[in-house]
Amino acid sequence: MLQLALLFLVVGIIAGLLGFTSIAGASFAIAKFLAGLFLLLFVVFLILAIAGVRKVLR
């Protein structure tokens, strides 16, 4: 998922440099969405892992 976000970021940068502003804007929006989703899932699974470790250690 993070790789897709980086791919869309690169596509957005290249499209912006070449003057394709609508494609660049869409690529940046997709990249921001995927990066946010990745961050949210990372935090959720981190909390679940910490809770699981605490439960096992008790």
Using one digit for the tens of pLDDT, what is the confidence trace for 4-22? 888 999 999 999 999 998 9
Give per-residue pLDDT as tens, 24-48: 999 999 999 999 999 999 999 999 9
- Looking at residue 2, its pLDDT comes to 81
What does each C-alpha distance from 37 to 32, 43, 56, 57 come to in angstroms? 9, 10, 29, 30
Residue 1 pLDDT greater than 80, yes or no = no
CA nearest neighbour of 1 among 34, 32, 27, 42: 34
Global pTM reads: 0.77
Instruction: Identify which has the larger pLDDT, 28 or 2.
Output: 28
